[in-house]
Amino acid sequence: MNTINQYSLWARNYPYPGEFVKFIKKPLAMRDYYDSMEETPRRVMIIEEGNPNLGFLDYSLTQNPFELMIKHFNAKHKHNLSNAKKNKFARQKKKIKLQKHLRKKNR
């Protein structure tokens, strides 16, 4: 089995404490969903004067999280994708050059 792409979540093989806390609060798999939501504080209407004040946060999806995910992916892998194309063309040129050389040698 071949490994195509392998990368670490951290710059090193292990995170700094601050990086780990940031990751626990907003995991990479959920980041785009969290970033696509907007929280709005809401209050529950008080019916009787003696009732406590209650409130909650209402979350609304303001944009498509998949579009944000694609944007992050393209920004992160733009350099890798362009290098892959360059390497493909370089391999093709090298192969053609080798074939020409072998044809001349076999004449």
CA dihedral 88, 89, 92, 93 (to 10 degrees): -150
> Do 8 and 23 touch, CB atoms closer than 8 A?
no
Position 71 in a domain: no
In a domain, 34, yes or no: yes
The answer to whether residue 39 is domain-embedded is yes
> In this structure, is residue 83 part of a structural domain?
no
* Cα dist from 96 to 61, 99, 102, whole Å: 53, 5, 10
Is 2 part of any domain?
A: yes
User: What confidence tens digit (pLDDT) does each residue in 14-23 have?
Assistant: 888 888 898 8
Residue 50 is assigned to a structural domain of this protein? yes
23-48 pLDDT, tens digit each: 888 888 888 898 899 999 999 988 88
Note down the domain range covering 19: 1-63
Residues 35/27, Cβ–Cβ less than 8 Å: no
- Determine, yes or no, domain membership for 22: yes
Domain contains 77: no
Q: What is the pTM (predicted TM-score) of this model?
A: 0.49
Q: Domain total for the chain? A: 1
